[in-house]
């Protein structure tokens, strides 16, 4: 507790010195406790300058996904009831699904520094190295039937785009249905998972997860993945991971507030950002594949396509490759 109090005081006036005596007086704790708190913060990676006759000042904070750092970036009035910062976990989505069964409240957030079994759509693995990305999930408990939540993945893609742009300034686009694209390469994946109540068929829990590549290098991805994936750092954008995590939480909470209501503004923004539209796509089915032209996104984020025979249909699931992206050029 002393460590958090000292940290809050040093953050309140960045660059200002506080003597040990002043900190002790303002916080109502002993000088020994002040020194112990300063030492603990330094061990956590905070650079704190000590100058004779002046005292202590905070020089820099680590780029660590810890609760105190993320919460300081949350906008006033943002209520995050339970923020769980994990050094390592199998998957933040899997973790929150387990915690939902244990009674975790709506709005609970899990953010990990590393995932050992990160997952994407269609059970694909998602590379999640330590200290390089943001792997974040939020648990919601909307009392809604599942058909009212069909657009959640599309809304989540828009929400994370907004967060990334707000913090980095990067112009992020969306590849249908759930991938964020920067410079023609994958920056982020989205995964939403739902559990239903057995008797009523209503939604018991909804977990929305996102993995954003922040500072990965091509070597972190490996030769095959590096051809199709990128990170903010590779694209020239240096960001604070705690600041981006806070922005993601805020935008996903805004999404939660609109579930079951008018989602047309979300659909309109999705359309504006969607790199799939107007391009040739390849529809991949279990029994084969076919080429089509992506025409539009409907009001539930379904992809409207014109098939080779001229028929217009809407795709709501499956895999879609986009000509000119990620190796599809033939």
Looking up residue 112, the CATH number of its domain turns out to be 3.30.930.10
Q: Are residues 160 and 41 in the same domain?
A: no
pLDDT at 214 over 90: yes
pLDDT at 328 over 50: no
Q: Are residues 127 and 255 in the same domain?
A: yes
Distance (Å, rounded) from C-alpha 212 to C-alpha 189?
Answer: 7
Q: Are residues 172 and 136 in the same domain?
A: yes
Domain assignment present for 44: yes
Looking only at the bridges linking them, the beta strands covering 280-285 and 203-213 are: unpaired
Per-residue tokens: 62: 């680590």
Answer whether 205's CB lies under 8 Å from 195's CB. yes
Domains: count for the chain: 3
Q: Are residues 118 and 258 in the same domain?
A: yes
Distance (Å, rounded) from C-alpha 278 to C-alpha 304?
Answer: 11
Q: Are residues 219 and 238 in the same domain?
A: yes
Q: Are residues 54 and 71 in the same domain?
A: no
CATH number of 285's domain: 2.30.30.100
Lowest-pLDDT choice from 31-45, 50-64, 123-137, 226-240: 123-137
Output 248 or 123, whichever has higher pLDDT.
Answer: 248
pLDDT tens-digit readout, 243-266: 999 999 999 999 999 999 999 999
Domain assignment present for 328: no
Question: What pTM was computed for the model?
Answer: 0.86
Answer whether 207's CB lies under 8 Å from 100's CB. yes
Residues 6+ apart with CB under 8 A from 197: 203, 204
Domain region containing 8: 2-60
pLDDT-derived band of residue 191, with 50, 70 and 90 as boundaries? Answer: very high
CATH number of 44's domain: 1.10.10.10
Answer whether 180's CB lies under 8 Å from 172's CB. yes
């Amino acid at each position: 507790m002393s460590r958090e109090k000292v940290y809050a005081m040093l953050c309140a006036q960045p660059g200002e010195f506080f003597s040990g005596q002043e900190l002790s007086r303002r916080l109502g704790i002993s000088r020994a406790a002040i020194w112990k708190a300063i030492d603990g913060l330094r061990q956590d990676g905070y650079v704190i300058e000590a100058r004779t006759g002046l005292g202590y000042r905070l020089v820099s904070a680590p780029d660590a996904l810890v609760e105190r750092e993320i919460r300081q970036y949350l906008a006033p009035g943002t209520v995050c009831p339970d923020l769980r910062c994990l050094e390592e976990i199998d998957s933040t989505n899997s973790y929150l699904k387990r915690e939902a069964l244990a009674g975790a409240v709506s709005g609970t957030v899990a953010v990990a520094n590393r995932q050992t079994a990160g997952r994407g759509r269609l059970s694909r693995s998602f590379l999640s190295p330590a200290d390089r990305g943001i792997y974040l999930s939020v648990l919601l408990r909307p009392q809604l039937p599942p058909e009212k939540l069909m657009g959640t993945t599309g809304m989540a893609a828009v929400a994370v785009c907004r967060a990334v742009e707000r913090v980095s300034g990067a112009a992020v686009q969306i590849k249908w249905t759930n991938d964020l694209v920067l410079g023609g390469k994958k920056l982020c994946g989205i995964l939403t998972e739902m559990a239903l109540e057995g008797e009523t068929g209503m939604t018991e829990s909804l977990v929305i997860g996102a993995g954003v590549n922040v500072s990965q290098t091509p070597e972190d991805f490996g030769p095959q993945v590096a051809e199709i994936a990128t990170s903010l750092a590779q694209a020239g954008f240096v960001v604070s991971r705690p600041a981006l995590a806070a922005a993601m939480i805020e935008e996903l909470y805004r999404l939660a507030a609109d579930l079951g209501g008018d989602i047309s503004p979300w659909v309109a923004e999705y359309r504006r950002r969607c790199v799939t539209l107007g391009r040739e796509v390849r529809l991949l089915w279990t029994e084969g594949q076919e080429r089509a032209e992506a025409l539009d996104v409907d009001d539930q984020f379904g992809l409207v396509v014109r098939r080779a025979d001229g028929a217009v249909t809407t795709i709501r699931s499956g895999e879609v490759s986009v000509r000119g992206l990620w190796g599809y050029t033939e």
